[in-house]
Structure 1
Amino acid sequence: MKSNMLAMRLLFTITDVKEAKKIEELLFQAHLPIYYQCRGQGTAKSELLDICGLSGRARLITVTILPQKLVDSIFTSLSQKYHITRKGMGIAGTIPITGIQEIVLKMMDEEMRRKLEENIERNEIEMNKDAMYTMVLTAVKEGYSDHVIDAALKAGAKGGSVIRGRRRGNEAIVQFLGISMQEEQEFVLVIVPKDKKADIMKSVSDSCGLKTPAKGVILSVPVEEIAGMEN
């Protein structure tokens, strides 16, 4: 159980755009170095939007990576300090991560990195026993999404989708990763067969990783159910 607290999670929040400062403050206080944001418009039926209190408003979608051990405190703050559980304040959730590039893990010390690697592997084994697909998510500098798609296709992917947004975070991380904060980003989502995930992530990392001009961050999350994909 103790090691499970180091398992990596993808945290997402969907809030009104006016809550941007509150989300920024929350992530800064939690010492989460990088997060990504994009804007969207809700398209659910009015009854559901009314339940969530989000009807007719633009959304701010925020995504970041964090250890499992921080999830409870983040959700406590979202509920008690930022009142996200109140009608109209938004939605938050987490997704287990089953793959991440090595350079991101190097942000942790050696012992934590070793445990995180073990837990990422365990996540993949335990949560994808029957799953045939995984989603590879890549965030790159604006203008490099085609490079990501090309690298993924070269390794066996069938295609992908692109969302545009912005990378935000703590400027202190810039020196370590050699990236710029508050930079326009393109997010590429590619659903691939599980047995091709490693090859596709390596191909994308080699072509568009943090050591390339694209400055890409790449990770994967499980896909439990899917329709419309060819084997």
Structure 2
Amino acid sequence: MDSLNKGLVLFWSIMDFGKGTKLFRLYREAGGKGGTIILGRGTVKSELLNILGITDTRKEIFFTIIDQESEDAFYEKVIKRFHLDKPHHGIAFSMPVKYCSAIDGTEKISSPEEKGVNNLGYEAIFVVVNKGSMDEVLEAAKSAGSTGGTILHGRGSGTKEKETLFNIEIEPEKEIVLILSKADKTQAIVDAIKDRLDIEKPGAGIIFVMDVSRTVGLYQGVE
């Protein structure tokens, strides 16, 4: 059954390994019913980490859909518990959602209030490529002004009839790179990745960009 909802957002957090699980518990304490945690690796460079020989760090990515009307209160809880308003404690961001179908059979059509989506200045770039192409994606993005990204791992599966998605084979292991970009740099980053990996070629990869309606804890290039 469809119902009109004041607004839904897809809440994301990217924090050090172990904190995603704690955030999920906080979400349940706040009345949340479900969410997903996946593992990833952060690639934002740090002079200290370079000295220690650490070039990437394990991350837990937590995401879930929440009502926009409860978004402010949830962000306050997250910031207070995990200190995301301080450097290097992690990031959280939201994306507007138009429609959601829940496991319990309920369906919601979202009518979100605009909170400066276009004025916020950030967008999320998702790049899905075959295993082994991650470094090229990050190098291309960096050349166009990106300060880093988060690497997620997925694996395609299915029958013979479902081995492709947009002409990309989904059986091999995939690498997914998430880059939060200043809106004025997004096109340059996308173009750089497309050129480096020849994305227009069938089977090379997929790039898509989504609006970001809220952020906290974003790295600004200052150590």
Larger fraction in helix: 1
TM-score by length of structure 1 reads: 0.47
TM-score by length of structure 2 reads: 0.49
Larger fraction in strand: 2
